[in-house]
Structure 1
């Protein structure tokens, strides 16, 4: 119950037993922000499924979580977003008849100047961060629709504020710039998150699509979680000045966990850190216009469907849906 005079944005959900009986899938849960999302959800008594490409790292992550949450209920499934042909087996291995939330968190950043492609011939960053999650969502959608009030949490990036999508060059074939390609892939995820909200509303489905970003999150401001990863005292001390602007990955996970657990948060909202969108407690934000543009999002959905040969939720014809201006009015 919200206390009188307390704003929703100032509340921190009471995690004790609040997610008991719930099952959540977190992609990219063996490192960084995804790990802390899994840890914090486990502390809320949920059953957490760690979706990881590297099964050995998933095992290490579960060991690390259990040092913090001894009675954690954990499982792992192999999720390789760069290989869309593997995703039906991933969903089958979940072996669940309900899924209360999926956190679409996993992602890669380009590690060199050269453009790379996956086995399907799609540019690797866009294919992993966006198309992989789009395809995974398509395979998960029957389970999500069958679960009352299930949530799809799309993890975007603060960098999407300055990114602009080029619908004529989604694969960065004509002008490949690694940093920009990453930023566009995160913007694509955000656009699809808002488009999914429109489609859920159009179908009258009670699931929620919520978009979240973690702000600026540094490894050096993040507490150690052996045997998965460690941060030295020297690294932490050197990073302290940066703490005035950004935070650690454990804090970056908080808006995501809030979006999973807080029933007051509704479909179509954007959440991130309070202070300049870079650090601080979670709060609701007003999305920038280019993040919610219905025409761009619809065209991106169509292109993504063609590239993956999947459609998570076809839009019924002639049904009014929320517009960009309505997302602005529902923002902070």
Structure 2
């Protein structure tokens, strides 16, 4: 896959007639992704856990893009019943052209579980989005050429991201759980891409580089850790604006291929036109993909519908 070396979001074509759903759209990378899609004419469904935060985000977006066509969707990715309830009316009658699985949690200090007893980080970042995507597949399949973009992270390449002990039942380490969830995002995307192969629909994963967003609210490393994040924000990490570029490229560029894993081209991995990123070792294994798919269906109790391609 070739990438446009000088691509910027200004190159996105008109998205009139397209509907996008962005999770975690109330702030950070998700908000910026939603804003740019709206600027280019898409109808955008802002999905997030807190109605008040979603309303505030919609107001800010309308102020920036007065012609924006926006709706809000209350969605708690740590609650399977809430996911089903949020997705049901969309799956029943909507057409969704772009799904950006962006929301997530990071560095939760102690092992916690979702409402359904799943480890919180993997349960939210991977299993929540797995269930959401499954419930939305009827709406996505109504599109002529749907794209499902799932936001991973550089942490997916860490050795601690190995998917054994997926629920961290033997040992819980905050950033290992995060790395597992982010590798699972890629493995899931690869398997979904295989199942969509030969159809006009595409599944892609991206990493946003190093950006300071509200994910850092869970940092577990105490005062020194918070000082490090503050220093990194000044010297190493990019903004949410640049970090949204890979998601926007994956969602809109005609050359963004099914099964791609994309990240920023910049040497500092914080900005620049997206390009293919190094795949974590084994993440594209069909055997691993099939295992994670089965395990995700078992843990969530959510079965993907047959993909009509």
TM-score by length of 2: 0.87
The structural deviation recorded for 1:97 is: 2.7
**Aligned equivalent of 2:200:** 206
**Aligned equivalent of 1:254:** 245
The structural deviation recorded for 1:44 is: 0.9
Aligned length: 291
Instruction: Work out whether residues 274 and 283 of structure 1, in 8 Å CA contact, stay in contact via their aligned partners in 2.
Output: yes
In 1: Cα distance, 2:6 partner to 2:174 partner: 37
Distance verdict in 2 for CA 1:188–1:206, change over 3 Å: same
In 1: Cα distance, 2:305 partner to 2:273 partner: 29
**Aligned equivalent of 1:293:** 285
**Aligned equivalent of 1:279:** 270
- Are 2:300 and 1:308 equivalent residues in the alignment? yes
Instruction: Work out whether residues 16 and 43 of structure 1, in 8 Å CA contact, stay in contact via their aligned partners in 2.
Output: no
The structural deviation recorded for 1:193 is: 0.7
In 1: Cα distance, 2:257 partner to 2:291 partner: 25
The structural deviation recorded for 1:8 is: 2.1
- Aligned ranges 1:82-93 → 2 under 5 Å: 82-93=78-89
In 1: Cα distance, 2:194 partner to 2:67 partner: 38
**Aligned equivalent of 1:324:** none
- Aligned ranges 1:12-51 → 2 under 5 Å: 12=8, 14=10, 18-51=14-47
Runs (5+) with no aligned partner, structure 2: 215-228
Secondary structure of residue in 1 paired with 2:273: strand
In 2: Cα distance, 1:155 partner to 1:197 partner: 15
Distance verdict in 2 for CA 1:282–1:243, change over 3 Å: farther
The structural deviation recorded for 1:283 is: 2.1
In 2: Cα distance, 1:107 partner to 1:24 partner: 18
In 2: Cα distance, 1:214 partner to 1:73 partner: 26
- Aligned ranges 1:47-58 → 2 under 5 Å: 47-58=43-54
List 4+ stretches of structure 1 deviating above 3 A: 13-17, 93-96, 163-168, 238-245, 313-316
- Are 2:100 and 1:97 equivalent residues in the alignment? no
Instruction: Work out whether residues 245 and 271 of structure 2, in 8 Å CA contact, stay in contact via their aligned partners in 1.
Output: no
Instruction: Work out whether residues 154 and 211 of structure 1, in 8 Å CA contact, stay in contact via their aligned partners in 2.
Output: yes
* Higher relative contact order (CA closer than 8 Å, sequence separation 6+): 2
Bigger radius of gyration, 1 or 2? 1
Instruction: Work out whether residues 81 and 132 of structure 1, in 8 Å CA contact, stay in contact via their aligned partners in 2.
Output: yes
Secondary structure of residue in 2 paired with 1:295: helix
In 2: Cα distance, 1:31 partner to 1:163 partner: 30
Deviations 1:108-144 (A, max 9, x none): 12432x2111121111111111111001111011111
* Alignment equivalent of 1:156, drawn from 140, 143, 152: 152
Runs (5+) with no aligned partner, structure 1: 1-5, 221-237, 317-332
In 2: Cα distance, 1:295 partner to 1:242 partner: 39
Distance verdict in 2 for CA 1:171–1:241, change over 3 Å: closer
In 2: Cα distance, 1:26 partner to 1:45 partner: 15
The structural deviation recorded for 1:291 is: 2.5
TM-score by length of 1: 0.81
CA RMSD across the alignment: 2.5
Instruction: Work out whether residues 4 and 273 of structure 2, in 8 Å CA contact, stay in contact via their aligned partners in 1.
Output: no
- Aligned ranges 1:51-200 → 2 under 5 Å: 51-94=47-90, 96-112=93-109, 114-200=110-196
Which deviates more from structure 2 when the two are superposed, residues 73-82 or residues 166-175? Answer: 166-175
Which deviates more from structure 2 when the two are superposed, residues 9-18 or residues 20-29? Answer: 9-18
Secondary structure of residue in 2 paired with 1:199: helix
